[in-house]
Structure 1
């Protein structure tokens, strides 16, 4: 858990709408259509899950997502009593609790089942030092990054510092959990990388019984990953898509809430599910919130005017009025102050970084169900319409990753300023991440150096860093917990022949930044290779599109960072060099402008541009001059990128000269493909079947790479399969140069990447013997079902439990059709609001007392 400006605060985070079961359409549908290639239901989830949620956690906040936050569509759940569950220690330290816990539901799970009432739970007696433990070891169907969640039963007899350890590919991460609160739901610990299969050492969660208090540790279930939809019935089956795309109505049910939360309209008819979604978000926040916790509720939406003429940002708090542009605030006290702080920050930052004419309207009220105190009287709540998706000009911005980042950071900073003003404390904003980073071999180990991240004069970015945290990884995928350092240099002793990757995050009193791009080394005397990451682009030209015509959505854009540019590409280059036992250093290209890195002392530079620099820019003049001098002096160069040639050709005279003189290539008309092979008569002839990633094969999408044409002194050595269109040009304008018109890191097969790079190493004399061509690769095994759990009974799935009776409310507030106004978030409220507020306050207080009253183990 990070510490920062939001430590001690809880943020209930709502990404608004999502897929629901539509009775009229007889299929799953999003609540908003595709407008200008944007679907609100997807934009909101992508933005909050990839930007705002980790930003809030970095600032120390406890974040409770109201839709599934994990983009990983594979899920494994290990329940107590399952084959992957084990207890170690004296049997007298363990027992079975009478309190219900998670139990594997039948598949599909009906829309009125409460899964946290289907099973039981165990307990373990605490001690001053660890004398017993319980472990949950999943059989993961494929490797990847996953969120980890634990479930337990809360009780006053539980310890307030239950010790849980996540064992993952990067090491161990330790957590202390107050088990007197937030029981009967999934409690999110963090996101970690796991390898495929079962591994108790690097793929498990362990609970230890050491505590500073007397009591017991509750042992229920552990979840790894987000999974795909599984709520459905004979009328309509589960959503065959990732759960993070589902609306909150299903996630709150899956997360342990009672039917009064996820199905407040009473009988669980399919036709109720869309309206139930609106209030399930805020009802879940009120149900989960514990007395004394300092919490707020923030909902991110995008808007629609119906005419496409409105644009800009709006913020809403609760009031008894429809959407009429007025402010008649009657919501939870503090909501209006928080909303104004967020609007002010959005207005300032979007004008400074996106559009100086950005329009932010004055704060408004409306009887929106999501901020209705009748559903959630326990915390300040705001609904933000960040932009209009049916406005052409706003939709252009919504398709940009950087717009989403700037808007998310504005919400983070707005919350920090709101709490600081309310609490009378100084404002501390988390710093920006370092960009200029280098890792190089030093005698007996490695040295990592970086420049402090920039600050700005217009109060948009973060405050200055006061310390740093350096993370390490053996493979660039699984990362450790990091080591804090006060300076801008980190040294580490490593044996010769060790490959290690590093990322650096900046720290201050506000919290922790996102990490830098990764750099790495393979240790060895006088490393001959320097790898340079010059891939800085992240914009709408790189967006993916997805065919969602079965849902009447056409092909909207998807902004999925790990398929675009996640800053990790150096690991693919590093692994290819290390495979041939060649030592290397690496740096970001920004390290050259800052003077941290230079080419002196290296025999070969691997300069990769991916899909280009910022906004597709080619190398700077300084970078080109340094590369030109290096090659002219006999240095060898591997230069790669999808659009490197066309970017240089579209530049100035110096750019074009670098393309012709150093890379010895130009651009030819023709259509590239995603399959590359060696030219039959050239030295890469055995490089066959080089499949390129389209963003769906585990790496970064390469886009539409350039078709190259050899210039004077250049020879085509790679081609697009089945054509004579060149994908790679070799030359020797001084040292050996291999110019790839495709990203080396975009080659899907690691063996084929290693072969291409190793063959070039041999051509430069850095390898005595060229590598053997790769043979046929086996097809990957079937990863199995998206959702995996095994019942304690040994039946899979377990026999269905009797269907519980529907939860019936004698009277409910009026429900308005979701399409009535604007974003369509209006549900509940109106004239009966005060009576319902009084009733709901009573219900909420009774709920809080009931959850803390029993003392059963």
Structure 2
């Protein structure tokens, strides 16, 4: 810990103003979120560590140290035959498969895996922001925000090494931006007092949360513990990266909140402090945000064009080019057929990542030990009965040569069995008892056959089928399915290692804030998972935001309550995260409190009764079946990234002709580049701003805490209901999200 603090002090002295600190007088308890736990395991081949978050909670029962490659279906691509950019699938039920699986993978599945300690790699852009900033010392179209500070060792340009260069705004043919620039390098020191630093500053056009990627070059003597620090409105987050592997592409560190304007503190800092002296650390470009597609394509004799769509909507083939992956991986047809290149490239990308590692020692690549790959699709077929669900289809390839590490390919059968059984069991238990588990398909599909690590492809449901999509458009269903996939992956990897697993907890409930005159108590309840007995919270992390700032960690507590003191007129907002040895939960709703000293006005109790997240209204009448987005779009969780436009064809007998005329379920293309707003669970703060402006102090609680008597009523109550509306989900007769329940009345 002393060494870590010394390093952070050097950072502040070298690079910039201090990062945001924990509120005065409230020192966060860090022990539980920084402790290192060693877990005995069955001996495995020696493997290199890759990316480690220093500040993340220890997850000995989770996925700590695991590297998972996954992708979400297709993406927008250039069709050489039709000389245009288009989707690989048709727009149906208000969405398209090129976007729809992202509504599972990006908001739910990837965060769940990361919350369990895994490092996740994906061949498609994961940031839905259209803003992108490149900071690089090579100039070109990059921002000029790179600076160096020299200690006992000095930075210099690496001889003979190519790095990222933003020399072309639009990439053509097989342009590789990671061959267009140079790389800086320095030798390591073990003494923090002699540290040097590379610093990347950025100028943000607009405030927001952005993904942060770094890049570097890998050498035989590269440091295995390069120390990166990301400074944002949420404070400083520290990472260790093994630069001996993974060089020459974008390495994702996380998504962070930033203010508009030029950063006073470096967005990213890289120190040359290491546990080993005289190793090499390299510094290249930093990428912030998702951006717009910038790969130009054309048909023979045609004019080259970019997609004009956000990069996150595009297929893997284009992200790979922007990320420096060799053309031999993403363009097996030599640029003649982007459709084929896209679906074949994903498995080859996995092998390129793993090549040279303990998982694939006989192949050239980036040396990242990939534990498994997962392909998420929703094209499970059709049925003549729109009332019947299609169900879930797993696909593997268990025949032929062994995997890269010598393991039998039959291990993928066990992998698929655990994941599929978990998915179907959880759906049948919580949603649809008749949900179909279709027979496993053991065939040479590229996404299941090509990877030299355990791999599977899942066709979760049929996006063409109304009965499946009655569930599939519900955000809570997508959360459940994603959690089931995460649990299946967790159980498979722990079974291979021969050690017990622990499932990360569910979000807490019954959150409330009580008290007055500067002294308040936050209380909540941990939630047991009826589907998983190990998913019990053992401690909690409390986060605080002051006014319009960002959330920072306040304290780690063992019990579901905490006392706080407030001595200002600012609005203090809080969220709770449950944790155990398996990882951390999704956050709670956000509650706020404001103490107006000397006010003679009564305290207001704000009750958050807006709990709804759901799919759109349904049309289920004679001759018309589908979704009525105009009547009620539904309420996304934070925001939807899969909506293309309203459904226009409701006749079940309407047949598919082409992707542009797909028959029943046909939908518009009016919103397919947009993020559709949803429930942020932060409306207490919105109301609280007006209440404070009127001179009233306030506290707040969730509606579940209020009806159970956990929150004491005040003389004035502000009940938030938003788009709360009683609905049903799927074929269930259960009614949900009724605004005025008997208990509330």
What's the CA shift for 1:166? 1.3
Counterpart contact for 1:451–1:594, Cα < 8 Å: no
Give the secondary structure class of the aligned counterpart of 2:295.
coil
Q: Aligned partners of 1:503, 1:559: CA distance in 2, in Å?
A: 31
The verdict on how the C-alpha distance between 1:488 and 1:237 changes in structure 2, with shifts beyond 3 A counting, is: same
Unpaired segments ≥5 residues, structure 2: 1-52, 359-368, 401-406, 617-633, 649-658, 661-665, 727-735
Match of 1:670 in 2: none
Q: Secondary structure at the match of 1:291?
A: coil
Shift of 1:339: 0.7
Change (3 A) 1:242 1:181: same
Judge conservation of contact 2:165–2:180 (CA < 8 Å) in 1.
yes
How far, CA to CA, are the matches of 1:482 and 1:560 in structure 2? 34
| Stretch moving more, 234-243 or 553-562 | 553-562
* SS of the residue 1:622 aligns to: coil
Deviations 1:15-56 (A, max 9, x none): 021100112332211111023333111111221011101011
- Kept in 2: contact 1:435–1:516 (CA 8 A): yes
Aligned partners of 1:34 and 1:554 also within 8 Å:
yes
1:589 to 687, 690, 703: 703
In structure 1, the partner of 2:373 is 297
Task: Find the aligned partners of 1:314 and 1:237 in 2 and give their Cα distance.
Answer: 37
Partner of 2:462: 388
Does the alignment pair 1:157 with 2:231?
Answer: no
* Residue in structure 1 matched with residue 392 of structure 2 by the alignment: 313
Alignment counterpart, residue 191 of structure 1, candidates 252, 255, 280? 255
Structure-1 separation of matches of 2:495 and 2:305: 49
CA contact (8 A) 1:45 1:244 kept: no
Rounded to whole Å, the distance in 1 between the matches of 2:118 and 2:555 is 21
Deviation at 1:89, TM superposition (A): 2.8
Select the residue among 608, 615, 618 that pairs with 1:533. Answer: 608
The 5-angstrom pairing of residues 768-787 of structure 1 reads: none
Q: Once structures 1 and 2 are overlaid, which stretch shifts more, 466-475 or 586-595?
A: 586-595
Q: Helix, strand or coil for the counterpart of 1:93? A: coil
- Once residues 179 and 122 of structure 2 are traced to their aligned partners in structure 1, the CA distance between those partners, rounded to angstroms, is 22
Q: Note if contact 1:193-1:477 (Cα within 8 Å) is conserved in structure 2.
A: no
SS at match of 2:743: helix
Partner of 2:308: 240
Q: Are the equivalent residues in 2 in contact too, given 1:135–1:205 (CA < 8 A)?
A: yes
Q: Say whether residues 1:137 and 2:201 are aligned partners.
A: yes
* Alpha-carbon distance between aligned partners in 2 of 1:559 and 1:579, rounded to the nearest angstrom: 37
Question: 1:444: how far off?
Answer: 4.5
Q: Contact 2:138/2:182 (CA < 8 Å) preserved in 1? A: no
Deviation by residue 1:304-356 (Cα, 9 ceiling, x = unmatched)? 435555711000002679xxxxxxxx983421110111111011001011200
Do structure 1's residue 347 and structure 2's residue 424 form an aligned pair? yes
Correspondence for 1:491: 563
Q: Could you tell me which residue of structure 2 aligns to residue 97 of structure 1?
A: 158
Any residues of structure 2 matched to 1:397-476 within 5 Å, and which?
A: 397-441=471-515, 444=518, 446-456=520-530, 459=531, 463-475=535-547
CA distance, structure 2, for counterparts of residue 113 and residue 49 of structure 1: 28
In structure 2, how many angstroms separate the alpha carbons of the residues matched to 1:581 and 1:190? 39
Task: State whether residues 547 and 570 of structure 2, in contact with CA within 8 Å, keep that contact through their aligned partners in structure 1.
Answer: no
1:452 shift after superposition: 1.3
Question: Does 1:607 find its partner at 2:725?
Answer: no
Give the distance between the partners of 2:547 and 2:411, measured in 1 at CA. 47
Label 1:254 to 1:558 Cα distance change in 2 as closer, same or farther (>3 A).
closer
1:367 and 2:444 equivalent?
A: yes
Report SS of the residue matched to 2:500.
coil
Which one has the largest radius of gyration?
1
Name the structure 2 match of 1:207. Answer: 270
**Structure 2 residue 294 is the aligned partner of structure 1 residue 230:** yes
Q: State which of 148, 155, 177 in structure 2 corresponds to 1:115.
A: 177
- Aligned residues of 1:142 and 1:197 also touching (Cα < 8 A): yes
Structure-1 residue corresponding to 2:414:
337
- In structure 2, the residue matched to 1:507 is 579
Please name the residue that 1:25 is paired with: 82
Q: Is the 8 A contact 2:92 2:667 kept in 1?
A: no
Q: Distance in 2 between matches of 1:560 and 1:416?
A: 33
Residue 24 of structure 1 aligns to a residue in which SS?
coil
Partner of 1:43: helix, strand, or coil? coil
Q: Distance in 2 between matches of 1:79 and 1:241?
A: 24
SS at match of 1:52: helix
- Superposition deviation, residue 72 in structure 1: 1.2
**Contact kept? 2:428, 2:434, Cα under 8 Å:** yes
* Cα distance change of structure 1 residues 536 and 186 upon mapping to structure 2, 3 Å threshold: same
Residues 5-20 of structure 1 mapped to structure 2, 5 A cutoff: 5-20=62-77
Q: Distance in 2 between matches of 1:124 and 1:491?
A: 48
After TM superposition, the structure 1 = structure 2 runs for residues 702-781 of structure 1, keeping only pairs within 5 Å, are: none
State the alpha-carbon separation in 1 of the partners of residues 208 and 509 from structure 2.
Answer: 25
Q: In the alignment, what sits opposite 1:260?
A: 328
Q: Which stretch shows the higher mean deviation, 459-468 or 483-492?
A: 459-468
Q: Over residues 539-584 of structure 1, what are the superposed CA-to-partner deviations in whole Å (9 max), with x where a residue is unaligned? A: 01315754499x9473279899871113222222233334455432
Secondary structure at 2:317's aligned position in 1?
helix
Q: Structure 1 or 2: larger helix share?
A: 1
Report the RMSD for the aligned CA atoms in angstroms.
2.6
Residue 584 (structure 2) pairs with residue 518 (structure 1): no
* Unmatched 5+ stretches in structure 1: 322-329, 625-857
Superposition pairs for residues 641-656 of structure 1, below 5 Å?
Answer: none
Q: What CA deviation, in whole Å up to 9, does each residue of 1:687-709 have, x standing for no partner? A: xxxxxxxxxxxxxxxxxxxxxxx
**Structure 1 residues 198 and 66, CA, compared in 2 at 3 Å: closer, same or farther?**
same
Is the contact made by 2:78 and 2:297 (CA closer than 8 Å) also made in structure 1? no
Q: 2:166, 2:154 → 1: CA distance?
A: 26
Residues 153 and 183, structure 1, Cα contact 8 Å, conserved in 2: yes
Asked if the contact 1:432–1:462 (Cα under 8 Å) also holds between the matched residues in 2, the reply is no
Q: 1:92 to 1:11 in 2, by over 3 A?
A: closer
Report what 1:554 is aligned to. Answer: 667
Cα distance in 1 for partners of 2:69, 2:461 equals 21
Does residue 618 (structure 1) correspond to residue 684 (structure 2)? The answer is no
Q: TM-score when scaled to structure 1?
A: 0.67
Secondary structure (helix, strand or coil) at the match of 1:41 reads coil
Deviation at 1:443, TM superposition (A): 5.5
Cα 1:113–1:464, aligned 2, differ >3 Å: closer, same or farther? same
User: CA offset at residue 277 of structure 1?
Assistant: 0.5
349 and 124 in structure 1: CA distance in 2 versus 1, 3 angstrom threshold: same
The answer on whether the counterparts of 1:158 and 1:179 sit within 8 Å (CA) in structure 2 is yes
SS for the counterpart of 2:69 is strand
Match of 1:651 in 2: none
SS of 2:509's equivalent in the other structure is: coil
Report the CA distance shift for 1:477/1:348 in structure 2 as closer, same or farther (over 3 A): farther
The separation in 2 between residues aligned to 1:198 and 1:189, in whole angstroms, is: 21
- Within the candidate set 435, 438, 463, 1:358 is matched to 435
Instruction: State the Cα distance separating 1:12 from its structure 2 match.
Output: 0.4
1:59 shift after superposition: 0.8
Out of 247, 266, 286, the residue aligned to residue 351 of structure 2 is 286
The count of residues paired between Structure 1 and Structure 2 equals 604
1:414–1:320: structure 2 CA closer, same or farther, 3 Å change rule?
Answer: closer
Q: CA–CA distance in 1 between the matches of 2:313 and 2:581?
A: 34
